[in-house]
Each structure stands twice: as C-alpha cells, then as structure tokens.
Amino acid sequence: MRKKKRGSPNSARGGERSIGGVRVTRPPLARMVRIHDLLSAGRYPNCSLLATEFEVSAKTIQRDVDFMRDQLLLPIEYDRARHGFAYTEAVGPFPLITVSEGELVALLVAQKAVEQYRGTPFEKPLQTAFGKLVSSLGEDASVSLHELSAAVSFHSAGIPRSQIEVFELLMQGVISRQLIEFDYHSLRARKPERRQAAPYHLACINNQWYLIARDEARQEVRTFALTRISAVAKLKIPFERPANFSVAKMLSGSFAAFEAGQTERVRIRFDQTVARLVSERQWHRSQQIRSLDQGGIEVTMHVGIAPDLESWILGWGNHAQVIEPLPLRERIAATVESMAANYRR
C-alpha cells in the first residue's frame, strides 16, 4: 500500500482529495503538520512566510499555531530574536490518529456501508461524519483508499425511507431519557394513533431502523418501525430505564425484529434447489442443520412465531416446507392458498 510522503510542501498544499467518492478537505491539518516539521527542524517559521507558502492569510496561520499550542498542548513560543516560532522543548511525532492497515480497510468497509443510504435523508450526515473521521488521519496513514474502494461494495433493495429529523428526535429521547409522543401507523390500522412512550433503544435490524420503547398506555415494551413514526415531540418528562433491560435478551428468541415472549421448536425442510443457499447463512443462533436424502436439508430453530419468520419461510416459495409446529404449518398453508386464489381471479 502506498503512503504519502510526510511534510512535503506539495502534499501540504493539497486542499481536497476524494476517498470512495467522499470529498475530504484537509488544509488545516496539513498546515499544522508542516508547521510541526519546521519547528522540530529548528527553522523558526513565522506567520508571513507560512502564509506565503500555503497561500492563506497570516491570521489563518496564527490560528493554526494557537490551536497547536492551546488545544494540542504543544510547547510553542515566539522567539523575537529569530523572528519566528520555536519549540521550547523536544517534541515527538505530531499528535495524530494512527491506525493500522487493517483498521483502514475496516474504515473503507464502513464508508461503503454508508453508500446503501444514498438518496435517503441519512446520506449527507453520514458522508459528513465519514469525511471528518478520515480528515483526522495523519499523512503517514493516508494510504490510497480510492484504489481499494473497488474491492468492496454494498447493494440493498428496499431501503427504508427513514426521516433524519425523526431519527434525531428519537435519539435525543433515548440519550436524555425523556418521554416522547409520536403518531404511529401500524400495519393493520387505517390511520395513525398517537402514542406516548419511554424510548429505550434504537436498533437497525436487516437494514430497517426500529425504536424499542415502553408504551405508556399499554405499559409494555414494544418495537416500532421508524418508517411508520411521525410527528415526534419530546415531553421533557424524565423516565428511568430498568437496570435489567437488555436488547439482546429481549430479542434473543426473535427471528428478526418482532419480540417473541415464548419460543417454539420450528422445523423446516428445504429441497436441493435452495439447500446450499440456506445452509450458507446463520439465520438464528439456535439453528441446527441436518442433511436429507436427495440433497435437501432440515433446519431446526427454537424461535418465536412472528410475522417476520412467516415472511422468511414464504420467501423460499415451494422450496420450503414447515414440518412443525402444526399451527405454523397450517398458517403458512392458508397464506399460500390465499395467494393462489388471488391469481385465479
């Protein structure tokens, strides 16, 4: 992996660069690294000379020096006899974020994951946050990520249209532990219902954001899809989240997002056509897979019976067959018959 040469005038002047399609502006950091190198070499740089080199104002250079001295706590003083700045004691490397090659690759993957939100309200704040993170890396860590970007990509269908304003208000409620109100349009309801809740947690499950909160009217912890939440209002009424609340425990028996209070033994047989596809993924932590004759498999899970499990089974079409429990088998059969009837009309 190529690394940029640290401290060279040309690299220091570079105003912008692009990483994975993200424009990253880095002149302040580059200037400070250059100033550090000159101070370490005993060159006594001053605002006028540096302003000429970087093609900025002397006031901008003075702000850089002030930041280095006051925020980074570097021992900088102005030497009147030499008409320039100097370190009053030995200083090591410039205080930058140092990362390993593996961490940089992980950063690239994170940036690629952001791309699945392109065209949604999340795109701009995520791109901005990524740009700020990359801009904090030092020149020694400035590898050619744009060459690596061709190696990783994310493609998602049916990306939810979450509103960033709703997300931010809900997050504020979670962090501040204050009650909220919102309109919620459940799947079977014809119109939204006003809810008051204590927001416990925000979870992203299968590319869908959910609010986990205690419904004040029902006095139960419920899961709400963000795409069906609107008109959020903070009530500024504090609440106490139970000390034993755990999202992991709450969803331990769930197939995906729907909370399941009771788990059951579920057995599903898949034919040879999809057996390999099914066996390649961990669908639930309790799953066990047994090979069958003619190349099929049988998947056994201890999981709660919920709509997301039913949708997953139906998604495999006639390649999946529920063996047990009987009520689930009958419900899937009824759904299939209803679907077939729709196509006979």
Nearest residue to 22 via CA among 127, 94, 121, 103: 127
pLDDT for residue 31: 86
Residue 309 class from Cβ within 10 Å (0-12 exposed, 13-18 middle, 19+ buried)? buried
Report the distance separating Cα 138 and Cα 92, nearest Å.
Answer: 14
The letter for the amino acid at 128 is T
User: For the domain bounded by 264-344, which CATH number is listed?
Assistant: 3.30.70
Top-confidence residue, 223 or 158: 223
pLDDT for residue 133: 64
pLDDT for residue 24: 41
Report the distance separating Cα 193 and Cα 217, nearest Å.
Answer: 12
pLDDT for residue 12: 37
* pLDDT band (50, 70, 90) for residue 256: confident
C-beta separation of 292 from 240 below 8 A: no
Q: Helix or strand or coil: residue 266? A: strand
Report the distance separating Cα 287 and Cα 303, nearest Å.
Answer: 9
- Least confident span in 34-43, 140-149, 158-167, 168-177: 140-149
3-state helix, strand, coil in the chain (%, to 5): 40, 25, 35
CATH class of the structural domain 164-249: mainly beta
pLDDT for residue 42: 92
- Which residue(s) pair with 183 in the sheet? 194, 230
Average pLDDT along the chain: 81
Where are the chain's structural domains?
1-158, 164-249, 264-344
Q: What are phi and psi of 145, to 5 degrees?
A: -65, -30
C-beta separation of 91 from 42 below 8 A: no
Report the distance separating Cα 319 and Cα 297, nearest Å.
Answer: 11
Looking only at the bridges linking them, the beta strands covering 220-225 and 22-25 are unpaired
pLDDT surpassing 90 at residue 185: yes
- Least confident span in 17-31, 102-116, 159-173, 257-271: 17-31
C-beta separation of 111 from 18 below 8 A: no
What torsion do the CA atoms of 167, 169, 170, 173 make, to the nearest 10 degrees?
150
pLDDT for residue 182: 96
| CATH topology identical between 164-249 and 264-344 | no
State which of 8-17, 64-73, 252-261, 268-277 shows the largest mean pLDDT.
268-277
pLDDT surpassing 70 at residue 242: yes
pLDDT in tens, 312-334: 999 999 999 999 999 999 999 99
pLDDT surpassing 70 at residue 287: yes
Q: What are phi and psi of 25, to 5 degrees?
A: -95, 130
Q: What are phi and psi of 17, to 5 degrees?
A: -145, 165
Top-confidence residue, 263 or 113: 263
pLDDT for residue 109: 67
Proportion of the chain above pLDDT 90, given as a percent: 43
pLDDT in tens, 84-135: 999 999 888 887 655 566 666 666 666 666 666 666 666 777 777 766 666 5
Cα angle: 232, vertex 234, 239; to 5 degrees: 125
pLDDT surpassing 50 at residue 26: no
pLDDT surpassing 80 at residue 283: yes
